[in-house]
């Protein structure tokens, strides 16, 4: 078979024969791929709910549901694309095959920038949550930022150790997160379930059409990260079957947990309180990330 490998600028530093012989080890199973993708998508609910409420107000649960429909179609597209092209490039590889190298290059850099933003936001929202146990984590910018940077550095070291070690931590963290969120949902519905209150909070705080559209756009950010599963295809055993299975599992888990958390939040807090949460995230986290 004729190789499609061509010499590039970087090949002056990295020897061509090493590039041609480079192969990723296929060591991952369905749960490992699921946990990696869920970690990217599922973590968004911790900061996205308040931000979405800034625009959507009373329609926040509905907006998250509408964005979830778009997420389902996107996820299924990734599942089909990965089954056809199980490559580490993920959506960048899809863009190269479907269009050209320039489009794939742009897609790859867009993904890289989105990962930087997602990593920053996820890590920076951890100290305020832990601040309920030790107040300086949410009152001191220096301590909060240092802890966030430390978390990123620790995860970077774990990733360098190897994908197998990373997958073990991902699976454990995903199980802990799912158990925590399911517990919150169950307890919330047991003690707070009140359909009339929910309906009134939605109707009385319904946003304008412009804010509704903005809320859907912001809610779509909460579902980003699905491409992570497709990018792990070359490290997965039988990726054409296992990656789509992991993505389907992710769709179910994310939609159920996002729906449950948003509904329980609306039962526990008024839309105005959720807006205040969104303002706190907007003022404390976003400016420091994008400065």
pLDDT in tens, the chain (291 residues): 444 444 544 444 444 444 455 567 778 889 989 998 888 888 788 877 878 888 888 888 899 899 999 999 989 988 888 888 888 888 888 888 888 889 989 988 988 887 887 788 778 888 888 888 888 888 888 898 899 899 889 888 888 877 777 888 889 989 999 999 999 999 999 998 888 888 888 888 888 898 889 888 888 877 877 888 888 888 888 888 899 999 999 999 999 999 999 889 888 888 777 766 665 655 555 444 444
Residue 236 belongs to domain spanning = 26-84+163-290
User: Is the separation of the CB atoms in 283 and 125 below 8 Å?
Assistant: no
Helices (H), 43-140: 45-56, 60-84, 91-98, 101-124, 126-130, 136-139
Residue 259 maps to a domain: yes
Structure tokens at 70: 């778009």
Residue 103 maps to a domain: no
The model's pTM is: 0.79
Domains in the chain, number: 1
Residue 247 maps to a domain: yes
| Number of alpha carbons in the 13 Å side-chain half-sphere of residue 220 | 10
- Angstrom CA distances, 53 to 3, 215, 217, stand at 52, 7, 12
Residue 50 maps to a domain: yes
């Amino acid at each position: 078979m004729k190789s499609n490998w061509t010499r590039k600028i970087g090949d002056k530093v990295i020897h061509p024969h090493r590039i041609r012989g480079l192969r990723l080890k296929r060591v991952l199973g369905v749960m490992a791929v699921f946990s990696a993708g869920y970690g990217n998508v599922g973590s968004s609910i911790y900061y996205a709910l308040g931000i979405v409420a800034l625009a959507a107000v009373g329609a926040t649960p509905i907006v998250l549901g509408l964005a979830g429909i778009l997420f389902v179609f996107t996820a299924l597209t990734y599942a089909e694309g990965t089954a056809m092209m199980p490559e580490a490039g993920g959506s960048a590889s899809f863009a190269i095959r479907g269009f050209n190298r320039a489009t794939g290059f742009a897609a790859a850099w867009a993904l890289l920038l989105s990962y930087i933003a997602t990593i920053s936001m996820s890590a920076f929202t951890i100290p305020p949550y832990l601040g309920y146990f030790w107040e300086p984590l949410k009152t001191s910018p220096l301590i909060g930022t240092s802890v966030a940077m430390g978390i990123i550095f620790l995860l970077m070291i774990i990733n360098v150790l190897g994908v197998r070690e990373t997958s073990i931590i991902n699976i454990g963290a995903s199980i802990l997160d799912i158990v925590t969120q399911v517990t919150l949902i169950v307890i919330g519905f047991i003690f707070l379930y009140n359909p009339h209150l929910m309906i009134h909070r939605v109707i009385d705080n319904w946003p304008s059409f412009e804010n509704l559209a903005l809320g859907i756009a912001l809610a779509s950010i909460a579902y980003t990260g699905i491409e992570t599963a497709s990018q792990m295809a070359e490290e997965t055993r039988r990726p054409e079957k296992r990656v789509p299975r992991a993505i389907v599992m992710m769709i179910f888990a994310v939609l159920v947990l996002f729906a449950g958390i948003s509904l329980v939040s609306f039962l526990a807090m008024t839309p105005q309180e959720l807006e205040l949460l969104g303002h706190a995230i907007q003022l404390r986290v976003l400016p420091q990330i994008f400065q």
